[in-house]
Structure 1
Amino acid sequence: MVMKLLILDRDGVINQDSDDYIKSVDEWIPLPGAITAIADLSKAGWTVTVATNQSGLARGYYDLAALDAMHQQLRKLVAERGGEVGLIVYCPHGPDDGCACRKPKPGMLQSIAAHYGVSLAGIWFVGDSLGDLQAAVAVDCQPVLVKTGKGMRTLGNDLPAGSLIFEDLAAVAAHLLQQD
């Protein structure tokens, strides 16, 4: 059986984004329908994972404990709706650190593939930025753009060929569950 794997960006896809960074659980506010979407996918046999750039760590805006608290909140809210969140990977580096994990580089996606022992060919990666879509293409994922977060701004760019566009994560989930 083929694993039903979905990879999500975090800020702007699952929760509200901010140009001032999301620095605490209080600032981590789920987007309408996002938690239910993840739970519904999970209950339908999907493994929902997260790959998120968190340069606020390198910039000193928040620490690992704050980031862990945000991810615990995500897991708790999804669990309350009967679902679960799979692996959450993050890049703690700043844009000039030269790491292999910061999107648009594909390091985090490769980590998810290695963790689950799967190929990423055709796996959907849902994001709201051009960097998300470029990371998806780099590992043969299906690039999916949502219009939440920075998504509307991203629509103004040349998107990678074959990019799919949805209103939000709830619309992505509805589409995938309909295909099942």
Structure 2
Amino acid sequence: MPLAPDRAIRGLLFDRDDTLVVDVPYNADPRLVVPVPGARRAVERARAAGLLLGVVTNQSVVAKGLATREQVDATNARVDALVGPFDVWCVCPHDAGDDCACRKPRPGMVLDAAERLGVPPEALVVVGDIGADVQAARAAGAQGVLVPTPRTRPEEVDDAETVAATLAEAVDLVIAAAGPSTVRTDRT
């Protein structure tokens, strides 16, 4: 199903691992960051369309004590350099059992990104590779696009309103739904 055309889409939020970069479990080493094929070009196209861009990422490596927040931030800076730049980064450092409001599938990071970008959550689309990404979007009032990987469970695909085969296709869907009204003149 395509994205809802009746919304004024102004921004696009990406999951980090297996969406923008190849997933290295619990990665907090910038040297291990490898973009997903086509990620840089897809992000460039979204930026050129005038969309606000952000990343919303669960990073329980911090809560597990396997890395510091500074190491995660350095890894995110490498992602930003290789694929971005992004207007906002929202990171949940908690583990699944911490009962925080920010860890996807909860809406905290999407709501935080919306506030920091200065747009209502309904004006955002979240692109990710697992059900928690689209569930966080839904819980925040945003739209979600699932880009399945071999690790995405079939029930997650079945539950997603919008599914794209690739990141490039997901960005195409968002740009098409956003229409020409997204073009901003304050961007270079």
Counterpart of 1:129 in structure 2 is 130
Listed as ranges, the gaps of 5+ residues in structure 1 are none
* Equivalent residue, structure 2, for 1:116: 117
Question: How much does 1:51 deviate?
Answer: 0.5
SS at match of 1:73: helix
Q: Identity of paired residues, percent?
A: 33
Q: TM-score, normalised by structure 1?
A: 0.85
Q: Given the alignment, which residue of 13, 27, 40 partners 2:32?
A: 27
Deviates more, 1:114-123 or 1:28-37: 114-123
Other-structure match for 2:42: 37
CA distance in 1 between partners of 2:127 and 2:103 (Å): 16
- Deviation at residue 108 of structure 1 after TM alignment: 0.6
1:174 aligns to 2:185 (yes or no)? no
Gaps of 5+ in 2: 1-7, 180-188
Deviation at 1:149, TM superposition (A): 6.5
1:154 aligned partner: 153
Residue 9 of structure 1 is matched in structure 2 by 15
Deviation at 1:117, TM superposition (A): 2.6
Structure 2 Cα separation of the partners of residues 52 and 78 of structure 1: 15
**Aligned-residue RMSD, C-alpha:** 2.0
Change (3 A) 1:71 1:158: closer
Comparing both chains, which one has the higher relative contact order based on Cα–Cα distances under 8 Å and sequence gaps of 6 or more?
2
Write the distance in 2 (CA, Å) between the matches of 1:125 and 1:106.
Answer: 11
Which of residues 63, 66, 69 in structure 2 aligns to 1:61?
Answer: 66
What do residues 8-36 of structure 1 show as CA deviations (whole Å, max 9, x unaligned)? 11111101114x32231122211000111
Q: Distance in 1 between matches of 2:83 and 2:104?
A: 25
- Asked whether the 8 Å contact 1:16–1:29 carries over to 2, the reply is yes
**Change beyond 3 A, Cα 1:66–1:174:** same
CA shift in 2, pair 1:168/1:109, >3 Å:
same
Alignment partners' CA distance in 2, 1:90 and 1:41: 21
In structure 2, the partner of 1:73 is 78
Residue 133 of structure 2 aligns with an amino acid whose one-letter code is D
Q: For 1:100 and 1:115, how far apart are their aligned partners in 2? A: 17
Q: Is the 8 A contact 2:114 2:124 kept in 1?
A: no
